Structure 1
Amino acid sequence: MKPALILASESPRRKQLLSEAGFSFDVVPVKVSEIPNKNLNVNDQILDIARRKASAALPLLKSSRTDAFIVLCADTEVIFDGAPLGKPADRQDAYRILKLLSGKYHEVITAVCLVESSTGKEVSQTETTKIYFRELTDDEIWTYIDTGEPMDKAGAYGIQGQGGKFVDHFEGPFDNVVGLPVELVKNLLSKF
C-alpha cells in the first residue's frame, strides 16, 4: 500500500495547487520558527526551514497515525539582491518592498522537503523562478496595499492575485511563485 501524503502547511495556496494536480492528501499544519540561519547561504536557509517543518511534523504525526506516510513541507522566500524579503511588517514596509521590486527582477525560491515516516528517508530540493516587475507608480503601490493582499505574502505581493499585474514576465514555474512547484513535488515523490 502506498504511504499517505500529508501536507504539513496551513497555506491555502499549497493545498489548492496539490488538489488541482490530482493528489490525495491530508493537511496537518505545523508552526516552527521561520527565522533563517544566517550561517547558511540563501538556498540552504530556505531548505533548512522546510526541514525544520518536517522535523516538527514527523513526531506529531507518528503519535496519531499507525499507517506509513510521507510528510510534505515547503518554504517559499522572495529573494532580492541576495537577501530574503519576508512578509511586510506593516503598510509602510509593504510600500518599501514593492518600491524596491519596481522595475527590477527578483527570485522566488521554494524549498520542498519530503520525509517518509517508516524509514526516515528524506528528499529535498529547491526551485527558483525569476520575476521581472515593470516600473510601478506610487499610486499603483498604495492602491494595491489598500486591498490588503500584500500583507501576508513574502515580497508583499501575490502573483495569482492583483499583484500579478505588476509582473512584466517571469522565467521558471508559475506555481513555484504561488508557493509549491508541483512538478518538483512529483519528481521527489518518485524517489520513494
Structure 2
Amino acid sequence: MTALVLASASPARLQTLRNAGIEPTVIVSGVDESQLDGLPPAELALQLAELKCAAVAAQDGLPAGALVLGCDSVLDLDGVALGKPDDHADAVRRWQRMRGRSGVLRTGHCLTDTTTGRVAAATASTTVHFADLTDDEVAAYVGTGEPLHVAGAFTVDGLGGAFVTGIDGDHHNVVGVSLPLLRELVAELGHSWTELWAPR
C-alpha cells in the first residue's frame, strides 16, 4: 500500500477519496490563495494546486514513501475564475449571474512522489449547467451558508444538487477531485492506483 497525503481541508475531497477506497492523511497547506489573483481560471487552479502540494511535500514527518496530492477548484464563468464567495452578498450576486447558465468547473491536481521528488500535474474541466433559480431560491440557498464555503458557490453533492441540471464530464471533478485524472497522475509517477486502496 502507498500512503496518500491530501493537502486540502475540503471534506468533500476527503469523502470522495474515502468512497474510492483510499484513506488519506490530511495536512492543510496554509497557502495564501489570493496571491495568484488575476490568472486565467485553468492556470489559477493548477498553480494553486502546485503551491499546496509543494508546501505539504516539504514538511517533515510525512508517511514514508507517500504521494502528496494538492488540489484547487474554481468555477470558470465567462473566463473569470470564481473561488469561494467573499460573503453572503457576493454569493447572491454569483447565483444571479449563474442561474440558467453554464460554467466550467476547473480543478488543478498536483501529485508529488516524496521518494523520488517527481511531480505530475494537470487540470480537469467539467461543464456544469445551472437551473434558473428564483430570487427566493437563491436567498434560501445562500441563507443555508453552504455556498459560502465552496468554489463557485455551489455543491453538486449537497443542498445545491437540485440546482445543477446537468454535467458534461467527470462528476467527481465537480466535487473537488477527478478520480480518473488522479489515476493517470499516479500511473505517470510509476505507481498503481490499486496500491492506494486501504486494506479491507
Aligned to 2:170: 173
Structure 1 residue corresponding to 2:157, chosen from 149, 160, 171: 160
TM-score, structure 1 as length reference = 0.92
Structure 2 residue corresponding to 1:67, chosen from 60, 64, 85: 64
CA-atom RMSD in angstroms: 1.6
Count of matched residue pairs: 189
Structure 1 counterpart of 2:30, one-letter code: K
Deviation at 1:85, TM superposition (A): 1.3
The answer as to 2:104 corresponding to 1:104 is no
Secondary structure at the aligned position of 2:54 is classed as helix
Structure 1 segments unaligned to the other structure (5+ residues): none
Secondary structure at the aligned position of 1:190 is classed as helix
Contact 1:36/1:49 (8 A) holds in 2:
no
Deviation at 1:106, TM superposition (A): 0.4
Aligned to 1:54: 53
> Which 10-residue stretch deviates more, 149-158 or 28-37?
28-37
Distance 1:122 1:83, change over 3 A: same
Structure 2 counterpart of 1:8, one-letter code: A
Contact 2:3/2:67 (8 A) holds in 1:
yes
Contact 2:65/2:114 (8 A) holds in 1:
yes
The answer as to 2:182 corresponding to 1:182 is no
Counting aligned pairs with the same residue, the percent is: 35
- CA distance in structure 2 between the partners assigned to 1:139 and 1:146 by the alignment: 10
Contact 1:110/1:126 (8 A) holds in 2:
yes
Secondary structure at the aligned position of 1:155 is classed as helix
Aligned to 1:37: 36
Structure 1 counterpart of 2:141, one-letter code: Y
Deviations 1:10-53 (A, max 9, x none): 11111111111012422222110112635753322211100101
Deviation at 1:188, TM superposition (A): 1.0
- CA distance in structure 2 between the partners assigned to 1:167 and 1:24 by the alignment: 29
Distance 1:103 1:66, change over 3 A: closer
> Which 10-residue stretch deviates more, 64-73 or 11-20?
64-73
**Structure 1 outlier segments of 4+, above 4 Å:** none
1:9-158 map, 5 Å: 9-35=8-34, 37=36, 40-60=39-59, 63-65=60-62, 67-158=64-155
Structure 2 segments unaligned to the other structure (5+ residues): 190-200
Deviations 1:50-97 (A, max 9, x none): 01011111121xx21472211011001111000111211221111100
Deviations 1:120-165 (A, max 9, x none): 1000111111011121110110011121111111111111111111
Distance 1:105 1:4, change over 3 A: same
- CA distance in structure 2 between the partners assigned to 1:131 and 1:23 by the alignment: 26
